Structure 1
Amino acid sequence: MRIAIDVMGGDNAPAAIVQGALDAAAEWRDTQLVLVGDTKRIEPLLKGQAPGNVELRHASEVVEPDEEPVKAIRRKKDSSMVIAGRLVREGEADAMISAGNTGALMTAGLLVVGRIEGIERPALAPMVPTLDNIGVLALDLGANMDAKPEHLLQYALMGSIYREKVHKMARPRVGLLNVGTEAKKGNELTKAAFDLLESAPIHFVGNVEARDVLARNCDVLVCDGFVGNIMLKAMEGTASTVFSVLKEEFTRSWLTKLAAAIMLPKLRGFKQKMDYKEHGAAPLLGVNGLVMKSHGSSDSVAVKNAVRQARIALQSNLIQSITTEISGK
């Protein structure tokens, strides 16, 4: 399999992206990695020791984090993100990974890679960590700020297929993110979506509240991108704040330092559960090729895990399964 990596996307690009790719190449010799970006900046990072399953593809432009997505993708035809997407569309790569501008990647998925027939809006589907280490697949968490009930239905179908094929989960439970568990709760969007999900060929368990997500009261969480992204950022912010407070409290005196030493292994385990780097990347479900979005702050560990996730999705024939289910082809 061949995976294209947008080396220029992300806060730590290109150094962390290249290092993560090299670590992945060493781990999985059967995977060819195509590093897409400015070769003048990439080659020194390889230090003349690029393995045989790593190749370079030059890109003279970069999509910046603050650029307007549609304009950037249409104007920067030689950007690393666009070229990586083109490799997927033309069959030169089986998947692409980028830690760059989320909106631009969504646009590249639509305009460069193309949609699956029958899907109106692709969805960003990251794993939300849970206390039992299994996680909840949540979609959409930022690709589309506005959604229609039919979009949420498509998210539910794609999310169910992802958990069945990639995570080997039988009859994944699908929940609709809402302000209450009662069937008639919510706004017009969630009320209409509830009726559609109830009639869909999925294991729909009804409305779920955000406070219960970490306890994994469902396996697939469906919501619009605006609400989902706020939930995700709130969780990330809360986790970061909790660890900052704990660090401050545990360094107040010799007694608290002793307590910290005793609790350290458990705290490290909990922090690892909540760490985005362990999950690597989120698929952009609904495009006609495997497009993976890494966290903007991804380090080399996150990039390597993104490659791992892409490999599993490819081995599970994820895109073909979604295409067959949605379009019947």
Structure 2
Amino acid sequence: MGGDYGPSYTVPAVVQALLHFPELNIQLVGRESDINAELDAQTSILPRSIDRDALLSRLTIHHCDHVIANDAKPSAALRNSRGSSMRETIDLVARGEADAAVSGGNTGALMALSKHGIKMLPGIERPALVSALPTQSGQPVWLLDLGANIDVDSDTLYQFAIMGSALAEQHLAKVPKVALLNIGAEASKGNDTIKSCAMRLEQTPSINYIGFIEGHEILLDKADVIVCDGFAGNICLKTSEGIANLILNKLKQHFFGHPVKKWLARILFASALKELKALNPDQYNGASLLGLRSIVIKSHGSADKTAIINAIGEAVHEVKRQIPQRISDGLETVLLERH
């Protein structure tokens, strides 16, 4: 029920995700009448070659009347969450009836409910929102925190680095390069929180810490994981998305505003235009709420069908890679190094 468009976008995305991931089963939580109306519309247009009954057998609906509002404060959402679709979604994961949760709803409420219902991994104090961003090479860079924690201390940043490294390693199959976002690359730059975290990372052999990185270097393949507080991270993310949309919209206006230009663009710049599509923020939708005992994925509120499918795909990947266990293993390694 979350996001700007609710079932009109989530349900079509779920149908396509079931087609794309044959090993996937999905539980949809929300108003049953709204969900069924969208399901009927989507399954009625499926090709005859697709077994509609077999597809629907992998889908379960949990009816909930109550929906947490996008502007609800986390504390109020937590107190009044009983009977809501978000609460039931988190409870399904907490009870072991689902391997992961995907939500496009209120971020603060999702974090509060997840901490309360699923609990944190031992040694982790706060969950962090992390997502991949495109780089000039095409290999993503993972940025965290993206807004779940506005004010953090050096211990929390240090935990973010461990979690981000564990996540990126499962995508890259190598030890990722970890950097701290700062106002300069020099060791003297930054506040005491950043400097203290840097000293600890330098003394942690299991983390491939490469030092400070500046804002203009985020997408230049300097690092695989970039760590910052949620205030800076959210501004970086939203600015990057805004610039990407600006570039894409300008190109559309230039190349596709006239039939002849459109034809020439497809012939002369087909490969370049294909690469530029990778800048679309929807391709990287699905921020992980790291540090929990189970997997929770936050989808953009404005996500379209393709973006929601990508968020579901991230959940599938993290379940297969057992990301919470990998983070726990990483923490255990760090603790052994300290002793």
Q: Which amino acid aligns with 2:91?
A: R
TM-score (normalised: structure 1) = 0.91
| Deviation (angstroms), 1:267 | 5.0
Partner of 1:156: 161
Partner of 2:15: 22
TM-score (normalised: structure 2) = 0.88
| Deviation (angstroms), 1:246 | 3.4
SS, match of residue 215 in structure 1? coil
Q: Are positions 1:142 and 2:152 aligned together?
A: no
Please give the residue correspondences for 1:73-222 in structure 2 after superposition, counting only pairs within 5 Å: 73-165=78-170, 167-200=171-204, 201-222=206-227
Do 2:29 and 2:85's aligned partners in 1 also have CA atoms closer than 8 Å?
yes
| Deviation (angstroms), 1:293 | 0.8
**Mapped partners of 1:29, 1:261: distance in 2:** 34
Please give the residue correspondences for 1:227-246 in structure 2 after superposition, counting only pairs within 5 Å: 227-246=232-251
| Deviation (angstroms), 1:285 | 0.3
| Deviation (angstroms), 1:265 | 2.2
**Mapped partners of 1:306, 1:87: distance in 2:** 18
**Mapped partners of 1:262, 1:236: distance in 2:** 28
Considering only aligned residues, what root-mean-square deviation do their CA atoms show, in Å?
2.1
**Mapped partners of 2:56, 2:319: distance in 1:** 22
Q: Are positions 1:56 and 2:61 aligned together?
A: yes
**For 1:308, which of 313, 316, 327 is the aligned residue?**
313
Q: Which stretches in structure 1 are left out of the alignment for 5+ residues?
A: 1-7
**Mapped partners of 2:172, 2:260: distance in 1:** 46
Do 1:119 and 1:286's aligned partners in 2 also have CA atoms closer than 8 Å?
yes
C-alpha distance 248-44 of structure 1, shift in aligned 2 (>3 A): closer
Give identity over the alignment, percent.
Answer: 36
* CA displacement 1:173-224 (0-9 Å, x = unmatched): 0010011111121122212221122112300000011111111100010000
C-alpha distance 75-253 of structure 1, shift in aligned 2 (>3 A): closer
* CA displacement 1:138-180 (0-9 Å, x = unmatched): 1101111111111110011011111122x14311100100111
Q: May I ask how many residue pairs the two structures share in their alignment?
A: 321
**Mapped partners of 1:29, 1:266: distance in 2:** 30
SS, match of residue 97 in structure 1? strand
Do 2:93 and 2:99's aligned partners in 1 also have CA atoms closer than 8 Å?
yes
**Mapped partners of 2:13, 2:259: distance in 1:** 39
**Mapped partners of 2:123, 2:153: distance in 1:** 14
**Mapped partners of 2:174, 2:82: distance in 1:** 42
C-alpha distance 29-245 of structure 1, shift in aligned 2 (>3 A): closer
C-alpha distance 253-293 of structure 1, shift in aligned 2 (>3 A): closer
SS, match of residue 135 in structure 2? coil
Larger deviation: 261-270 or 125-134? 261-270
Partner of 2:2: 9
SS, match of residue 127 in structure 1? strand
SS, match of residue 205 in structure 1? strand
Q: Which amino acid aligns with 2:184?
A: G
Q: Which amino acid aligns with 2:195?
A: K
**For 1:41, which of 24, 31, 34 is the aligned residue?**
34
C-alpha distance 249-26 of structure 1, shift in aligned 2 (>3 A): closer
Please give the residue correspondences for 1:215-294 in structure 2 after superposition, counting only pairs within 5 Å: 215-250=220-255, 260-262=265-267, 264-266=269-271, 268-294=273-299
**Mapped partners of 2:262, 2:327: distance in 1:** 51
**Mapped partners of 1:196, 1:86: distance in 2:** 36
| Deviation (angstroms), 1:262 | 4.9
SS, match of residue 143 in structure 1? coil
SS, match of residue 218 in structure 2? helix
| Deviation (angstroms), 1:57 | 0.8
C-alpha distance 262-196 of structure 1, shift in aligned 2 (>3 A): same
Q: Which stretches in structure 2 are left out of the alignment for 5+ residues?
A: 44-51
C-alpha distance 183-270 of structure 1, shift in aligned 2 (>3 A): same
Partner of 1:4: none
Do 2:244 and 2:280's aligned partners in 1 also have CA atoms closer than 8 Å?
no
**Mapped partners of 1:254, 1:44: distance in 2:** 38
